[in-house]
Amino acid sequence: METFQSLLAKKLSNALFAAGLPNAGELTSATDPRFGDYQTNAALIVAKQQGESPREVARRIVEHLKVDDVGEAPTVAGPGFINFTLRPAVVAEKTASMLADERLGVSQAESPRRIVVDFGSPNVAKPMHVGHIRSIVLGDALARIASFLGHEVIRDNHIGDWGTQFGMVIYGWKNLLDQDALQQNPLAEIVRFYKETNALATSDPQVREACRQELVKLQGGDKENIDIWNECVALSMQDFEHVYELLDIHYDIQCGESFYHDRLPGVVEHLLKSGIAELSEGAVVVFFRDVPELSDKPCIIRKRDGGFNYATTDVATVDYRLGELKADSVWYVVGAPQTLHFKQIFEIARRQGYQADLRHITFGSILGEDRKLMKTRSGDNVPLRELLEEAGRRARKIIEEKNPDLSEPEKMDVAQIIGIGAVKYADLSQYRMTDYVFLWDKMLSLQGNTAPYLQNAYVRIRSIFRKAGKSWNWHPADKEIGWKPMRICLNESAEINLAKRLCQFAEIVPQVLNDFRPNILANYLFEVANVFHTFYEACPVLKSEEPARSSRLALCYLTGRVLHRGLDLLGIKVPEKM
């Protein structure tokens, strides 16, 4: 289904051609309702290129614009903008066709790609903490959107399950393990003795050496150490899975660092042979002498002592994803501190001849109310599991206040949906690069740009349909569209505004991937909820006469589906009641 935007863009392009002008500028939705629904700055750009009067160029373009099938006659305004206004009847038609479309008008990508999305990536023997939220939530939302747009998405959890920390973990397991505590809370106990070992190793060279020996034994395949390692990985995974369940996150593959362990010697050998890497001060190093920004930033892929590091693993990972998984694109949803590292890894991939699209998608930090990195009172990282449980508890409290009549199972279910949704939405509704302040009251508020506000709009719609009776008994999540083709009539301005906004869903969703910004979709959904509420105030639905009644019910239905689908693309669920 073609969007108004792309339809008008084609018409514009034709008009420019017919007027003998170069194709230029862009056609976007209007920045202000006074300027109609869509606008283009094409005349301004062309006029600049050709040294002519912008308004004069605009007039020439307008002469060739044939848009009478969708809108009013285009107007020239301001310095030379051309504004377009849609006719309500055309909007009504489009709205009706959206009703019958399972994809709500969103087109599949013209050239579907195979995309590996690398996000989350927790470390074994360390609990996931608040710092992991952004990677998980962002990565999952991007994966959902890419998948909806028709790409083949492989979600990969690159778990930190191999590396020097295991020397200490194994030493701690052998010397400091408290079996009872391990039974009680396995991961907490592992973290405890890992920290203690770490402290010991820092102050005591003998412990440090012992840890190193344990690591050497592990890497040499020592049976006892391998068993301990396996046990620690399994216990950690249980904890991760619990968090993933709370967050409704599902990976397609979980190729952690250990998965690549066997491949590392081959990787280094290959890079040496091909001349990409060289020996330097005993280590194997890749220099980027011809890349200005990396010229003084070499990348070590094998340490002087023969050990491998995370750069080695990441090169092996690129090999696997591009060489064996045949990915066209890899998205690394990883914090900004690793920017330099990924520049190096991507450059090494390029030198190996890979042409895939490799992206490092960075994001800002989560701050506490003091505007410093969010920590517990004792200065530790905030465990993610506890944070999510807290979200559920707080949501539960609000539900008790606002809607005590819900049944107990409903309360539990709704609290989960609202609490988790609030945390996810707080993250996704803002530009990923800026740091943001984590405020419970703000994200759980029923007012403003929050998940509960959007969920409430949806709940109101569902409530209307419960009252509307059996003949309207379908659900937005149903695969089957239970809606017969019907006429939509748009008379009130609130109806027109709502319908126009709904039609933009298909324009917004693909935009998210331009620069990996789910906040564009979040803001759009907020606007939808907003114009819906205005409509809801201004236009009675159930009490109105036919044909307005059916038409308004259809608008409600479509709004419900857009909210449902839109939030689903962000990984957020909606309750039926709240």
Partner RNA sequence: GUGCCUGUAGCUCAACCGGAUAGAGCUUCUGACUUCGGAUCAGAAGGUUGGGGGUUCGAAUCCCUCCAGGCACGCCA
Please, which of residues 129-168 interact with RNA by CB under 7 A? Answer: 160, 163-165
Classify residue 124 by its DSSP letter: T
Among residues 377 and 467, whose Cβ is nearest to RNA? 467
Q: Does 475 bind RNA (CB under 7 A)?
A: no
| Choices 12-20, 168-176, 191-199, 464-472; region in contact with RNA by CB under 7 A | 464-472
Least separation in angstroms between residue 507's CB and RNA is 9
Q: Which of 131, 186, 298, 368 binds RNA (CB under 7 A)?
A: 298
Distance of alpha carbon 68 from alpha carbon 52, whole angstroms: 28
Taking alpha carbons only, the member of 118, 408, 67 closest to residue 255 is 118
Please, which residues have CB within 8 angstroms of residue 85's CB and are 6 or more apart in sequence? 36, 37, 71, 72
Least separation in angstroms between residue 44's CB and RNA is 3
Among residues 242 and 442, whose Cβ is nearest to RNA? 442
Q: Measured over all CA atoms, what is the biggest interatomic distance in the chain, rounded to whole angstroms?
A: 86
Distance of CA 268 to the CA centre of its chain: 34
Q: Does 549 bind RNA (CB under 7 A)?
A: no
**398-457: contacts with RNA (CB under 7 A):** 398-399, 402-403, 429-431, 433-437, 439, 442, 445-449, 452-453, 456
Please, which residues have CB within 8 angstroms of residue 179's CB and are 6 or more apart in sequence? none
Tokens for 215? 């690591």
Tokens for 197? 């070992």
Distance of alpha carbon 212 from alpha carbon 227, whole angstroms: 17
Least separation in angstroms between residue 170's CB and RNA is 15
Least separation in angstroms between residue 229's CB and RNA is 15
**52-91: contacts with RNA (CB under 7 A):** 54, 77-79, 81, 83
Q: Which of 187, 422, 459, 555 binds RNA (CB under 7 A)?
A: 459
**193-252: contacts with RNA (CB under 7 A):** none
Q: Does 547 bind RNA (CB under 7 A)?
A: no
Among residues 6 and 97, whose Cβ is nearest to RNA? 6
Q: Which helix (H) or strand (E) holds 332?
A: strand 329-333
Least separation in angstroms between residue 399's CB and RNA is 7
Among residues 180 and 281, whose Cβ is nearest to RNA? 281
**105-134: contacts with RNA (CB under 7 A):** 123
Q: Which of 88, 131, 186, 364 binds RNA (CB under 7 A)?
A: 364
Least separation in angstroms between residue 11's CB and RNA is 16
Among residues 306 and 323, whose Cβ is nearest to RNA? 306
Give the 3-state secondary structure of residue 304. coil
Asked if residues 87 and 94 have their Cβ atoms less than 8 Å apart, the reply is no
Q: Does 281 bind RNA (CB under 7 A)?
A: yes
Q: Which of 6, 13, 14, 29 binds RNA (CB under 7 A)?
A: 29
Asked if residues 274 and 283 have their Cβ atoms less than 8 Å apart, the reply is no
Q: Does 476 bind RNA (CB under 7 A)?
A: no
Q: Which helix (H) or strand (E) holds 74?
A: none
Could you give the C-alpha distances from 113 to 154, 278, 330, in angstroms and in order? Answer: 11, 35, 10
Distance of alpha carbon 5 from alpha carbon 507, whole angstroms: 7
**484-523: contacts with RNA (CB under 7 A):** 511, 514-515, 517, 519-520, 523
**306-345: contacts with RNA (CB under 7 A):** 307, 309-310, 313, 336-341
Q: Does 289 bind RNA (CB under 7 A)?
A: no
Q: For the chain, state the CA radius of gyration.
A: 28
Distance of alpha carbon 57 from alpha carbon 42, whole angstroms: 9
Q: Which of 20, 31, 273, 324 binds RNA (CB under 7 A)?
A: 31
Tokens for 344? 């190096």
Among residues 143 and 451, whose Cβ is nearest to RNA? 451
Among residues 41 and 182, whose Cβ is nearest to RNA? 41
Q: At 455, give phi and psi (nearest 5°).
A: -65, -35
Q: Which of 283, 327, 503, 528 binds RNA (CB under 7 A)?
A: 283
Least separation in angstroms between residue 184's CB and RNA is 28
Distance of alpha carbon 121 from alpha carbon 161, whole angstroms: 10
Strand pairing partners for 38?
29, 84
Distance of alpha carbon 181 from alpha carbon 190, whole angstroms: 9
Least separation in angstroms between residue 326's CB and RNA is 25
Q: Does 474 bind RNA (CB under 7 A)?
A: no
Q: Name residue, tokens 């690793």.
A: 338
Least separation in angstroms between residue 51's CB and RNA is 8
Asked if residues 120 and 132 have their Cβ atoms less than 8 Å apart, the reply is yes
